[in-house]
Structure 1
Amino acid sequence: MIAAPFHAGERALQTLAGSREQMEEFGSRIIRDRMPEQHRAFFAQLPFLMVGSLDAELQPWASALAAPAGFMQSPDAAHLHVGALPAAGDPLAGQLKQGALLGLLGIEPHTRRRNRMNGTVESLDAGGFMVAVQQSFGNCPRYIQAREPVLAPVRGGEPPVQWLDKLDLAAHRLIGSADTLFIATAYPNEVAQGDEADASSHGVDVSHRGGRPGFVRIDGDDTLTVPDFNGNRFFNTLGNLAVHPRAGLLFIDFDSGDLLHLAVTAEIVWNGPEVEAFEGAERLMRFHVTHALRRPAALPLRWGDAALSPHLAGTGQWNTGMRALADGR
């Protein structure tokens, strides 16, 4: 167990939410510096892995790696070997080196299971890399859409990466219809000076967000607004954003395998009419896109139709009135 697993940003948000005392006790029991046996077995059965990384400019990026199930193996409770490497166009390719901080999310959408592991790259080889565990913990299944991935044949050649000066029509269509996104955030060592939390709380995190199709609102060419629903009260993502307001978003085209990576700056809308107007939202996250790249057919997985999470029944949708509120902010 880790005695002080939450950093200053996470603790501040837990205090605002009135959950600090509960999380102090609960977090130290749930967040471990080793992977339990069920987590080790879980990663080994997955055909893909979500990875959060941090570039030299302290910009987080979210990425995905895929290979036949079994490409991840845990030789012991303190390590996970990932038997895959990012393609040249993946932002992760530039960050993957010994000592790099990574956030890992193992997620099995069709069973709505997910487990998190944050750590450091201990070594690399020709086929993959070894991650040493810093923090390991499970996540609740809420807001995960049930869809099952199937490996697709790998095509010859690597489609060119498309850098976007602004979100184009294809990006708007993907984002505007999305029911799922992945978000990478960070608590870099450069931000953590003087924090009494355990050093394992420093680093990168990658997480899942889900909602009804269209839960991400697009304002203009470069601003996205996303409702934040009730969660586990750890505030890993929002705690990072509170002290380091930058994030990496990843949208997946589940039909084609296209990946859309976004580098964004972030702000949290704590309250007000916009929040109140969206049923189920406790707050909003607003993202301003600074960089975007599209990687066509980069993920060799295809999914069938999704069964939306039953927890979405109590959540709202964007409407014209909410857009008017946003325009008047």
Structure 2
Amino acid sequence: MDDHIFHTGERLVQQRTGERGTALINSRNISPGIPAAARNFVGQQRWCVLGAADAAGAMWACMLSGEPGFVQASDDLRSLQVASSDPQSVLARMAPIADLQPAQSIAVLLIELQTRRRLRINGHVSQVTAQASAQALAVAVGQAFPVCPRYIQKRELLPLEAEAAAEHRTSTAVTSGTLLDEATSAWIAGADTLFIASLGPSGEADVSHRGGRPGFVQQQGRVLRIPDFNGNSMFNTLGNLELESRCGLVFPDFEGARQLQLTGHARAHFGVDADIDQTGGTGRWIEFQVDSWRSTPLNLPQRWRLLEASPYNP
């Protein structure tokens, strides 16, 4: 099996945890294009998560929503397009990563909460189109692979009344800061889902999902402690953090159609003294140091109802 698919940081973590063999087996699911079986899945999605660096080099994760078809795979399955007829939907509402440039590394995560299916796509920006009537982002695929359903809380999308949708579209409520205030701390304390964007040794962006019971993320001042539960053993995120500390988080507000984005630095800790509820028995967690944060409404309003917590949650 080809081990060169993993970079140095990933291999180091796989060695440290004794999971290199499992990682190599699971790496068979990684392909240089979007799997043909996932084409319909891509076109059905109503939202996605992007991971990229801003102009200053800080990493951010960003949620985008749209109608089915706003994300499409190309005929040859080697590229992905994120587009909308609403000029506020793709680029302008992606701040602080709105100024994407051709060849810039970017990661896309497509996740379907009601079925617990997800697809990770890492690549680079191949084209940015910004016109008065439409905006589009084209991504050349470098790697794509499906991920297991663990730790995804099952939710269903609720219909939104016209008045509520109109009110949301006119909302410009954006708050930001460097210190986590009472409202953002409460948001984090009640979260059962987050997404984390990180960077590989050559600047390759990656974005992944983390989930657990509400309160699974612990806060100590400006530091967030995120447990690393058992996964696919490839350790893409932890491997990145082994070599590059810059990363970004986004916490969805599924009921309020908002997102809380944080950028900062992080490192992984191994063999920590924690009970099984804290790390699911792995003895691993990520400590994330907050540099700054921003809270914004989603570009298009979507509200979700919780159906079932993941049966894998510790």
What are the within-5 Å matches in structure 2 for residues 55-94 of structure 1?
A: 55-75=54-74, 76-84=76-84, 85-88=90-93, 90-94=95-99
Separation of aligned partners in 1, 2:290 and 2:111? 26
Q: Does the C-alpha gap of structure 1 residues 26 and 173 become closer, same or farther in structure 2, counting only changes over 3 Å?
A: closer
By how many angstroms is 1:296 displaced?
3.5
Amino acid paired to 1:295:
T
Separation of aligned partners in 2, 1:277 and 1:21? 26
Amino acid paired to 1:146:
K
Separation of aligned partners in 2, 1:256 and 1:184? 23
By how many angstroms is 1:132 displaced?
0.8
By how many angstroms is 1:113 displaced?
0.4
> 1:180 aligned to 193, 205, 208, which one?
193
1:158-190 Cα shifts (integer Å, max 9, x gaps): 51422213111110111000000011011152x
1:3-39 Cα shifts (integer Å, max 9, x gaps): 7211111111111122224433541x22110111122
DSSP-derived class of the 1:4 partner: helix
Amino acid paired to 2:114:
H
DSSP-derived class of the 1:278 partner: helix
By how many angstroms is 1:278 displaced?
2.7
By how many angstroms is 1:151 displaced?
6.2
Q: Percent identity?
A: 39
Pick which of 155-164 and 105-114 moved more: 155-164
1:62/1:182 contact within 8 Å kept:
yes
1:259: which partner in 2? 259
2:87: which partner in 1? none
1:197: which partner in 2? none
Task: Tell me the TM-score normalised to structure 1 length.
Answer: 0.85
Q: Does the C-alpha gap of structure 1 residues 88 and 30 become closer, same or farther in structure 2, counting only changes over 3 Å?
A: closer
Separation of aligned partners in 2, 1:270 and 1:294? 31
Separation of aligned partners in 2, 1:108 and 1:81? 18
Ranges in structure 1 where 5+ consecutive residues have no aligned partner = 190-201, 316-329
1:289: which partner in 2? 290
By how many angstroms is 1:91 displaced?
1.8
1:188/1:204 contact within 8 Å kept:
no
1:82-120 Cα shifts (integer Å, max 9, x gaps): 1141334622213x2211111110000110000111011
DSSP-derived class of the 1:35 partner: coil
Pick which of 260-269 and 82-91 moved more: 82-91
Separation of aligned partners in 2, 1:281 and 1:58? 34
Q: Does the C-alpha gap of structure 1 residues 270 and 286 become closer, same or farther in structure 2, counting only changes over 3 Å?
A: same
1:229/1:280 contact within 8 Å kept:
yes
Q: Does the C-alpha gap of structure 1 residues 46 and 139 become closer, same or farther in structure 2, counting only changes over 3 Å?
A: same
By how many angstroms is 1:77 displaced?
1.1
DSSP-derived class of the 2:255 partner: coil
Separation of aligned partners in 1, 2:71 and 2:94? 22
What are the within-5 Å matches in structure 2 for residues 57-136 of structure 1?
A: 57-75=56-74, 76-84=76-84, 85-88=90-93, 90-94=95-99, 96-126=100-130, 127-136=135-144
By how many angstroms is 1:298 displaced?
4.4
By how many angstroms is 1:271 displaced?
1.5
By how many angstroms is 1:305 displaced?
2.3
1:275/1:284 contact within 8 Å kept:
no
Q: Does the C-alpha gap of structure 1 residues 275 and 13 become closer, same or farther in structure 2, counting only changes over 3 Å?
A: farther
2:51/2:205 contact within 8 Å kept:
yes
Separation of aligned partners in 1, 2:195 and 2:209? 5
RMSD of the alignment, in Å? 2.1
Q: Does the C-alpha gap of structure 1 residues 129 and 278 become closer, same or farther in structure 2, counting only changes over 3 Å?
A: closer
Task: Tell me the TM-score normalised to structure 2 length.
Answer: 0.88
Q: Does the C-alpha gap of structure 1 residues 123 and 89 become closer, same or farther in structure 2, counting only changes over 3 Å?
A: closer
1:179/1:213 contact within 8 Å kept:
yes
